[in-house]
Structure 1
């Protein structure tokens, strides 16, 4: 397991175990604008763990967006895969005049990151879409970036390609969708076999991203997916646990689920409400 510096961002310390709270889509709070460069700068200064999504462009570069198309998240139109750098310069994020964050911008932004900060590049396209051109773009712009970046994807082929070109970057895999299908077809034993194979596979991941309800469902039936991963030297990120009413704190159902999740000792929990989650936990524990 690659050693990370002690986190200085938002986290929960419980029974001697540190669980980081990762800012989902560069949002410290759900009310923050989507993929905000300002929030990212705040996280870099604080040493926070944060996540952004990357979509590949027609020229092999990337843009920080989640969806396949520009509609919805931006003022633009059409598939992102058909856009070039020049096509995106005048497009803005919805709900303001914020420019899009391009992969060319990220390397410079990362120079200001606190040593404990961790930025996840969640690749939303598969290896066929990214291709050799996209991998070469990542290598050209992030070759000198240190372990403050972790590249993740559902596509194992893509992560293997990243490992070959950028072996110094941390890597993450998200087998969640596949494991849901395997559970339906073959049960939890088949899930365990497949997950263990992924952990020992050619991606050599540092972190495994798993849907938190899948983690809890498995635990109820005797499969501790977090312990399995940690036993193989991997970290686990449980995604995405967001309080429905952050100012009010946990509902009773949320509290039961969060307690059960924390008892399994995940290394990180993805959330859209990091400060509120930390406050709500503290109130419950004190109360």
Structure 2
């Protein structure tokens, strides 16, 4: 991986291990507007790892939004899956009255980036909803982009379809919900068995996304989920750790959890407060 020249809000070095700080929903700071094209451009220039959510449209394209319906995040109304590109062109984000980022726009924005930049497409719909039409749209618009992209989602069928159509893109899976259910029903041994199956499964993932409390709970019971994934050649993203008070840094509880997480050497931590997290870490470790 190309090393990051400007580490401000990008990564933490601990015990000779680099842990990237991923900007959740294109936010470098929680005060940033949701899914900001300006913040994304800043991240592309700096070599940041960033995440955005994609929802499928009726015409097979995508829009950068998290919710299934337009009402929560935008001035529009109704399910996104019922809308075409024309329906969405006049819709604005509630935060700042900004235009929506459509997949067509996104492809154009990604033509020139820092070589270390990484953009995660977190697919919020399953393969049944996206279908072959949506996969073809991704192939048409992102086959030749120069930037590094990782496509992630909870739908394993979707990730397999991406692998087959766009093998050059990185892939990620998030088995968190499934693993929580297995833990509650059958315990940690069953969780380990299922995670091993995912690691060697047909998606052939590059990165595994895991809820950070799940990682710590497993570690307390002797299951190092991060180590297990890394032993299989996979990276681990621990999501989403955001400081409650970015100005003052870690509370004692936050510090106990974050330092325990860092001791397990995740490859990446998702956060809404990347610069503040790095700053708080330096302040604590300098003592």
> How do 1:75-90 residues align onto structure 2 when only pairs under 5 Å count?
75-90=75-90
| 1:259-270 superposed matches below 5 A | 259-270=259-270
- CA spacing shift, 1:205–1:73, aligned 2, 3 Å: same
State the alpha-carbon separation in 2 of the partners of residues 28 and 147 from structure 1: 19
Structure 2 gaps of 5+ residues are none
TM-score (norm 2): 0.98
Say if 1:230 and 1:142 are closer, same or farther in 2 by CA, change over 3 A: same
Question: 1:153 matched to which residue of 2?
Answer: 153
Name 2:3's counterpart in structure 1.
6
1:255 match: 255
Q: CA deviation at 1:112?
A: 2.0
Task: Give the drift of 1:5.
Answer: 2.5
CA drift at 1:6:
2.5
Counterpart residue number, 1:22: 22
CA apart distance, 1:108:
1.1
User: Which structure 1 residue ranges, 4+ long, deviate > 3 Å from structure 2?
Assistant: none
Partner Cα distance (2:157, 2:116) in 1: 29
* Structure 2 CA distance for aligned equivalents of residues 234 and 110 of structure 1: 25
Distance 1:7 1:122 in 2: 23
Aligned to 2:37: 37
Q: Equivalents in 2 of 1:95, 1:169: separation in Å?
A: 31
Q: Does 2:234 match 1:237?
A: no
Contact 1:7 1:20 in 2 (8 A): no
2:165 corresponds to which residue?
165
Structure 1 length normalisation: TM-score?
0.98
Confirm or deny: 8 A CA contact 1:239 1:269 kept in the other structure. Answer: yes
Aligned to 1:113: 113
Q: Which runs of 5+ in 1 are unaligned?
A: none
Q: What's the CA shift for 1:107? A: 1.2
Shift, 1:146, TM fit: 4.2
**CA contact 2:111–2:147 (8 Å) conserved in 1:** no
- In 1: Cα distance, 2:46 partner to 2:202 partner: 33
CA distance in 2, matches of 1:159, 1:147: 19
Shift of 1:145: 2.0
Residue deviations 1:142-162, cap 9 Å, x none?
A: 111246100000100000000
Q: Distance in 2 between matches of 1:46 and 1:78?
A: 36
Is 2:286 the partner of 1:286? yes
2:58 maps to 58
**1:187-226 matched pairs, under 5 angstroms:** 187-226=187-226
Counterpart of 2:135 in structure 1 is 135
Residue 186, structure 1, aligned to residue 186, structure 2: yes
Contact 1:241-1:271 within 8 A present in 2 as well: yes
Q: Could you say what the CA RMSD is over the residues aligned between the two structures, in angstroms?
A: 0.8
Tell me how many residue pairs correspond in the alignment.
284
SS at match of 1:50: strand
Shift of 1:27: 0.2
Taking the aligned partners of 1:226 and 1:110, their CA distance within structure 2 comes to 30
CA contact (8 A) 1:147 1:170 kept: no
Output the CA distance in 1 between the equivalents of 2:46 and 2:187: 42
| Aligned partner of residue 119 in structure 1, secondary structure | strand
